[in-house]
Structure 1
Amino acid sequence: MAFFYYSLFATLCWVGVIIYLLINGRKMAPLDLQAAAEVEPSVAIIIAVRNEEADLEKALQSVCKLNYANYRIVVLNDRSTDGTAAILETFTGKYQNLSVTHITELPYGWLGKNHALYQGYLNSTEEWLLFTDADVEFHPDALSKAVGYATRNRIDHLCILPEVISRSEMLNAMLGTFTMLFTLQFRPWASSNPKSKASIGIGAFNLVRREAYEQAGTHQQIKLRPDDDLKLGQMIKAAGLKQHVLIGKGYIGLEWYHNVQQFVNGLMKNSFAVADYSVLKTIGGIILILILIALPVPLMLLFGTKTEQGMACLILIFQSIYMTSPVLPNKWWHALMIPFAGLLMAYISARSAFITLKQGGIYWRDSFYSLDMLKGKV
């Protein structure tokens, strides 16, 4: 009888969650439906790069060909040791609105990327700052539409959810579950509500008014946060500033990781940070993932009665509907991978916490940061 009630609880949770996500997902408008900017205020596109030779050239080409008259590209080469500097040199010779600053030393108490982005701010004077990553590709009209939306709606901070794709079909299936968990945790649609505590920050596209960035405290307030994009959004919202989010499918895109192994290694670096380095939060999150995401459908199908197996099928139907929603690049059958993805997320959270605690901190871009330093105790 207990298993029946567990199955019923899991089914009601899943049906409720999917309906909740689908309804609220519609509150986030797509970028492609927005009108271009009528007036073009100055924009500095700030990109921190480190050993990015694999993706940099293609991404920079897209940034250099934006249909926007009043923008400048500020690239911070953060101690790269590969061919990044040579690639950047070819671009500076072709595009007058692109400048490169080579960073050779990292000051104490900073993560490399955060320091580089802050240097980009110091090396700019533009009215708007767009913090983005070195592997993000832009549609030519992306910036104009984004700035147009931001200025018409008089907002201080605009995030755009990128279209994340991978050459690995297995990873694409994992990304669907990751996106679901991300949206459940951060509720990006609620970030525009001043009465809500929800906030959002997206590393691929954080467009913020210069005055708002300064009022929020700049990257100086988040020097040691691996999740700097999320924390930037949190700072801006906490300062009482206006924040919105749009869906960038077809306009902002990137291949986040090439395969599942890269995905696991990448998330492992900052999963514990997202939990504020709290063991209790981490354990609680892992338990919820196992009970509600990884285990219900397999257990119900393998050990359940016909009624419980029917509940499992109902869960799969709703999961499949979600996987085909506009926010995701996935296919309906990726719902079948949700249990495995849940196990993988639980493993990432557990191992991230274990490794961080065991070594007493994290290694980030070849530098070690103690846990006390990351928590601001030293």
Structure 2
Amino acid sequence: MTITLSIFGLLLSAFPLVMWVANLPRFLRDRRPEKPDSADAAISVLIPARDEADGIEHCVRHALASHTVELEVIVLDDDSSDATADIVSTIAEADSRVRLIHGKPLPDRWNGKQHACKQLADAARYDRLVFLDADVRLRPAGLAELSRLLEERSLGLISAFPEQVTVTWLEKWLIPMMHFILLSYLPFSRMQSMSDPSLAAGCGQLFLADRKAYLEAGTHAAIRSSRHDGIKLPRAFREAGLMTDVTDGTDLASCRMYDCGSQVIRGVLKNAIEGIANPKLIGLFTVLLLGCSLLPVVTLAMAVGQSDRIATGLSVIALALAHGPRLLATMKLRQSFFGVVCHIPATILFVGLQWVALGYHLTGRTVTWRGRT
């Protein structure tokens, strides 16, 4: 029994590492010069902002510093209770490329971010639309590089995963799980060659879309009630027969999603039901994630207790393999080594939060975010 479980744990631990080795070259890009040779794109940078006074100026100014693109930056103030609108107005007075618009009242059955993005797209002048979270800091070559990829790969939508800035221990534990899930269980070879909606993936922090494709996909109205635009927006494009892709954005932008541990927990819970924490997926992912992290620990304890050398060896190998993806993320994606060391408890906590989110959903509870449910 112990050897059987040890083999099972070894297989479950090896699978994510094999997928990472296969997926990573497709996720990474050939590095281009920081400053491309010529301007070839006109881009509307669209930023929904609700109570973003602490960071909105940095977001806008980083976008304005983009190299070799013609751009406008439009910020939608979504009924902020702080100085967000005043800050953007001050920038707009000094730079004609910046516009501030005020959001309309939120209709029933619309998520606030999706409603804001739809209004921003309607106001945009250019045919390439960048949907940018207010906590993202673009790097100078970021927009030009994303525009190049959109054109070269004949895409309707591309999403970049910015460098994730993590400070607290919970950030270092849980934020890297987005890369772990993406690269461990999504077959990039199929995702990049087929428009199957089930292969949709993305990061809601940074999207670049072609306007024509965006309209064909139904705009953000197609996902009006969703909080999980990272998956739902690419899926809408794919349902319209359009291709989408994801890319490493470590050198294109940076983002610190949450400021403290409690925000991390609420951030994981708020849209988990639209991802892993739904009844169709949660059982499978519980087996996959705990099988490649907790199970080798359990089988190692059993094997040592039974003095079973074969099972002990298999469990040790499984544990080493289990940490491989997080180690690769540290080397290639600038993630914290602390996350590698704590991969097992981080995975257990992540799975536990998925079950909490499912429990919330089944009992009708919702997680409030920026004053809205």
TM-score of the aligned structures, taking structure 1 as reference length: 0.88
> Is 2:49–2:76's contact at 8 Å kept on the other side of the alignment?
yes
Q: Give the stretch that moved more between structures: 175-184 or 258-267.
A: 175-184
Give, in angstroms, the shift of residue 186 of structure 1.
4.1
Give, in angstroms, the shift of residue 286 of structure 1.
3.2
Q: Give the stretch that moved more between structures: 197-206 or 120-129.
A: 197-206
Give, in angstroms, the shift of residue 294 of structure 1.
4.2
Instruction: Give the corresponding residue for 2:102.
Output: 102
Tell me the matched-pair count.
Answer: 365
Q: Structure 1 CA distance, aligned partners of 2:69 and 2:340?
A: 43
Instruction: Give the corresponding residue for 1:236.
Output: 237
Give, in angstroms, the shift of residue 241 of structure 1.
1.6
Q: Give the stretch that moved more between structures: 157-166 or 212-221.
A: 157-166
Residues 129-168 of structure 1 aligned to structure 2 (within 5 Å): 129-168=129-168
Q: Structure 2 CA distance, aligned partners of 1:253 and 1:188?
A: 23
Give, in angstroms, the shift of residue 116 of structure 1.
0.2
After superposition, the C-alpha distances for 1:89-108 in whole angstroms (9 at most, x for unaligned) are 22112221111111252112
Task: Give the counterpart letter for 2:347 in structure 1.
Answer: G
Q: Structure 1 CA distance, aligned partners of 2:7 and 2:213?
A: 47
Residues 35-184 of structure 1 aligned to structure 2 (within 5 Å): 36=36, 38-103=38-103, 105-184=105-184
Instruction: Give the corresponding residue for 1:372.
Output: none
Q: Structure 2 CA distance, aligned partners of 1:262 and 1:209?
A: 33
> Is 2:326–2:343's contact at 8 Å kept on the other side of the alignment?
no
> Is 1:111–1:223's contact at 8 Å kept on the other side of the alignment?
yes
Instruction: Give the corresponding residue for 2:303.
Output: 304
SS at match of 2:208: strand
Structure 1: give runs of 5+ residues left out of the alignment. 369-378
After superposition, the C-alpha distances for 1:102-153 in whole angstroms (9 at most, x for unaligned) are 1252112211110000000111131111111001011111111221232233
Cα RMSD between the aligned structures? 2.5
Task: Give the counterpart letter for 2:321 in structure 1.
Answer: F
The answer to whether structure 1 residue 337 and structure 2 residue 335 are counterparts is: no
Q: Structure 2 CA distance, aligned partners of 1:31 and 1:112?
A: 36
> Is 2:203–2:231's contact at 8 Å kept on the other side of the alignment?
yes
Summarize the Cα distance change of 1:236–1:157 in structure 2 as closer, same or farther, 3 Å threshold: same
Give, in angstroms, the shift of residue 14 of structure 1.
1.2
SS at match of 1:61: helix
Instruction: Give the corresponding residue for 1:10.
Output: 9
Summarize the Cα distance change of 1:262–1:182 in structure 2 as closer, same or farther, 3 Å threshold: farther
> Is 1:45–1:130's contact at 8 Å kept on the other side of the alignment?
yes
Q: Structure 2 CA distance, aligned partners of 1:328 and 1:304?
A: 35
> Is 1:117–1:131's contact at 8 Å kept on the other side of the alignment?
yes
Task: Give the counterpart letter for 1:3 in structure 2.
Answer: T
Summarize the Cα distance change of 1:90–1:316 in structure 2 as closer, same or farther, 3 Å threshold: farther
Instruction: Give the corresponding residue for 2:361.
Output: 356
Structure 2: give runs of 5+ residues left out of the alignment. none
Give, in angstroms, the shift of residue 59 of structure 1.
2.0
Q: Structure 2 CA distance, aligned partners of 1:181 and 1:16?
A: 12
Q: Give the stretch that moved more between structures: 259-268 or 294-303.
A: 294-303
After superposition, the C-alpha distances for 1:295-342 in whole angstroms (9 at most, x for unaligned) are 213213333234333323323333443223255333556333222112
Summarize the Cα distance change of 1:320–1:282 in structure 2 as closer, same or farther, 3 Å threshold: closer
SS at match of 1:352: helix
Give, in angstroms, the shift of residue 208 of structure 1.
0.8
